[in-house]
Amino acid sequence: MLRRTWLAAPFVFIAGCGRIEEWSMPPSPGSRPDALVSLPAQRLALVLADLPVGFDVGQELVSVTPTGAMDPPDPFGRLSAYAVIFRAPGNRGHAGDVVSSVNAYVGMTEAKAAFASWQAAVPGNYRRAEAPPPGAPPGAAAFVQAADGSCLLGFRSHNVIASVRVGPTTVPLQAVTRGGAGDSATPVAQAVRLAALVLRRIDAGAGR
């Protein structure tokens, strides 16, 4: 599932990496809808500090940008890509993982096309919600796995597409959710909250 979710591409595998430096998220009142984001994808994704104490980084994937004459070009003009798996306490590598993925492109037209391709590549065991959940980024696409309630939420902002996946057993996430119980602890609600963090970073990057 993760291979398709991350949009099949060349990657460098990094195992057991620690916390990456958290990027501050200043407000971006000057951000224009047509402004392009030039920050690397890794600077836009979730970081370990976004999750409660006890989570750790399971693995990271960083794209390899084609540079040689014999390298196949990316069909959507992708500039950088990054994906990271966060492992829940006591649930290392199982369904409770949180996954953050970000892909940046040369322009918004290319990003729109890549987002359409991403949606088409979501595995069939996920069912698309008829409408984005409340609070989701504009134009987001939400997919829920019927078997366990896992939520995969993808969206586009500027020339960047991103996704967040939250599994069904990430109970510790409740500790950082307002209310700490009820619907706010569902994978869908958690995915919305975490996607909002990523969206804020993307929009802040466009305001620079």
- 84 located within any domain: yes
- 140 located within any domain: yes
Query: Which residue from 86, 52, 94 is spatially nearest to 180, judged by alpha carbons?
Result: 52
Whole-model pTM? 0.78
- 28 located within any domain: no
- pLDDT tens-digit series, residues 89-139: 877 656 568 999 999 999 999 999 999 999 999 999 999 999 999 999 999
- 29 located within any domain: no
- 58 located within any domain: yes
Query: Which residue from 146, 102, 141 is spatially nearest to 121, judged by alpha carbons?
Result: 141
- 133 located within any domain: yes
CATH of the domain at 109: 3.40.1000.70
List Cβ neighbours of 105 (8 Å cut-off, separation of 6 or more). 76, 77, 78, 79, 111, 114, 159, 160, 161
Counting the structural domains of the chain, the total is: 1
State the residue range of the domain holding 145: 2-17+34-206
